[in-house]
Amino acid sequence: MRALDVAPFAFAVALIMPVAHAAETSREIKGLYLMTDYPAVTVRPGTTSNIPLRLQDYGLSPERYRLSVSGVPSGWTATLLGGGQPVAAAMPAPDANVSLQLRLDVPANADLSEQTLTVKAEGQANQAALPINVALAKELPAKLTVTSKLPSLRGSPKSSFEYTLNIKNDSGRNLVASFAAEAPTNFETSFTEAYGSQELSSIPIEAGRSKDIKLKVRPPSTIDAGHFPVAVTVNAEDASANVELALDVVGQPQLQVSGRDGLLSARAVAAQQSSIPIVVTNTGTAPADNIKLSASAPTGWKVTFEPAGIDRLVPGKDAEVQALVTPSDKSLAGDYMTSVSATSRGENASSQFRITVSTSTVWGIAGAGVIGVALLLMLGAVARFGRR
C-alpha cells in the first residue's frame, strides 16, 4: 500500500524540478543592461536616423539612471528620446525595461569614415554602456519590384479579369510609384485600390514597404478565344519594374433568333394552329448545347415548338424549328406581338414576331347564312302583309 503512495509523490517531484531549475537559471542574470537589436548601422549623410534602445533591469532595486552619449563627431547631433521626447534620465522597474531611441542627425558633408558612439546609463550603484558603430554610405538608387499572385487568368469574353499586384519599394527612401498597363487593342484596363474601387495612376510607398493594387482587364465582348498578354510597368524616379500577365479567353456561344429569310412577321387564323419557321443561329466562338425554346404570347394563345429544343449548335451554323401557334378563338382580326426566346447555359436571345390574325372563313359563311335567312324572313313578311 505504501509503494502505491510513494509513486505519485515521486512523479510530482519529477515534474516540479525542471520548472524550478528554469526559474533559478533566469535569476542568474542580474544587473543593468543597455541593449539594441542593431548595434551596427549604416546611415546616409544629410538624413536623420532613429536607433531603438532598451534599458533593462534584471533583479535590481529601482534607481534613477542618468543618460548620455559620448563619441559624437563634430557637426553631428545625438539625442536620446523616451516617449517621443528628449530625456536625460530613466528609471526601469525591477525585471522590466524602458524603451528609448537614439536619434542621429548627420550633416550632408560628414566624413564617410565609420564612427563609434557610446550610450551610457549611470546610477549610484549600477551603470551600463552600449557602443554603437555607425557607418556612412552615399544614397542608394531607387529600386522597385512588382509581382502578381496569379499572373495568368482564364475566362469568357464577358469576364472581368482582376490581377492583384504587389509593388515593393526596396529603396532607402520613400517613393511615389506610377503604373501603366499595355494590353491588346480594344482591351480596357484600370488600376484600383486593393480593397476599394477608387481608380489610381500612382501610389506612395514608404522605404522598405510594399503595397497591393488591383489591375482590371476587360476584353471586348466580340473577341475570339485565344491567349492574350498584358504587360505592366511601374516607375518611380530612376527605377522601374515590369511584370508579364496573361489572360486566356475561352469560347462562348452567342445566339440569335429570327424568322426564315430574316422575316419577323407571320399570319395566323383565330382558333387554328399555324406553323411559323424560327431560325436559331450561333454567332459565338463555342458550341451551344441543349438550346431550349420558349415564347411569350397574348393571353389565351398556345405556342409549342417542333422540335422542342436543339441538342447542339456549333459556331457559325443555324437550325430551323417550327413554332406551332394557335391564337385564341376570341382573337379579333389584327396584329399581335409574340416573343420567341432561345436559351443555352445562361446565353439568351429573343426576337419579337408580328403575327397578323384573321378570323376563320367558317364563321364568315355562318354569318352570311344568318344574314341570308334574315333577309328571306323579311321579304316573306313584306309579301304577306303587303297584299292586305
Tell me the DSSP string of 216-266.
EEE--TTPPSEEEEEEEEEEETTEEEEEEEEEEEPP---EEEEEGGG--EE
Distance, in Å, from the CA atom of 14 to the CA atom of 20, rounded to the nearest integer, reads 11
Give the three cell numbers for residue 128: 551600463
pTM over 0.75: no
Q: pLDDT value at position 373?
A: 66
Q: What pairs with residue 341 in β-bridges?
A: 294, 350
Distance, in Å, from the CA atom of 165 to the CA atom of 150, rounded to the nearest integer, reads 9
Distance, in Å, from the CA atom of 196 to the CA atom of 213, rounded to the nearest integer, reads 9
Give the three cell numbers for residue 166: 504587389
Burial readout 343-357 (b: 16 or more C-beta within 10 A, e: otherwise): bbeebebebebebeb
Instruction: List Cβ neighbours of 145 (8 Å cut-off, separation of 6 or more).
Output: 167, 168, 170, 241
Distance, in Å, from the CA atom of 224 to the CA atom of 51, rounded to the nearest integer, reads 59
Residue 311 one-letter amino acid: D
Classify the C-alpha dihedral 109-110-112-113 as positive or negative.
positive
Angle ∠(47,50,56) on CA atoms, nearest 5: 160
What SS3 state is found at 115? Answer: strand
Q: pLDDT value at position 382?
A: 61
Distance, in Å, from the CA atom of 302 to the CA atom of 280, rounded to the nearest integer, reads 21
> Is the distance from CB of 213 to CB of 187 less than 8 angstroms?
no
Residues in the chain: 388
Q: pLDDT value at position 204?
A: 94
Q: What pairs with residue 66 in β-bridges?
A: 89, 122
Give the three cell numbers for residue 57: 533591469
Distance, in Å, from the CA atom of 381 to the CA atom of 140, rounded to the nearest integer, reads 123
Q: pLDDT value at position 76?
A: 95
Q: Is the peptide bond between 307 and the residue preceding it cis, with omega within 30 degrees of 0?
A: yes
Torsion of CA 200, 204, 210, 211, to 10 degrees: -30
- pLDDT (tens, 9 = 90+) of the chain, 388 residues, equals 344 443 443 333 333 344 444 444 446 789 999 999 999 998 888 888 899 999 999 999 999 999 999 999 999 999 999 999 999 999 999 999 999 999 999 998 888 889 999 999 999 999 999 999 999 887 667 889 999 989 999 988 888 899 999 999 988 778 999 999 999 999 999 999 888 888 999 999 998 899 999 999 999 877 888 899 999 999 998 899 999 999 999 888 889 999 999 999 999 999 999 999 999 999 887 888 999 999 999 999 999 999 999 999 998 899 999 999 999 999 899 999 999 999 997 789 999 999 999 986 555 555 556 676 667 677 666 666 655 5
Torsion of CA 297, 303, 304, 309, to 10 degrees: -20
Instruction: List Cβ neighbours of 28 (8 Å cut-off, separation of 6 or more).
Output: none
Distances (CA, A) of 219 to 194, 223, 345: 21, 7, 21
Give the three cell numbers for residue 146: 512588382
Residue 225 DSSP symbol? S
Burial readout 170-206 (b: 16 or more C-beta within 10 A, e: otherwise): bbbeebebebebebeeebeeebeeeeeeeeeeebebe
- Which alpha helices (DSSP H) does the chain contain, by range? 2-27, 361-387
Closest CA to 122 of 169, 72, 64: 64
Query: Using only C-alpha atoms, what is the Rg of the chain?
Result: 45
Q: pLDDT value at position 380?
A: 65
Give the three cell numbers for residue 279: 431560325
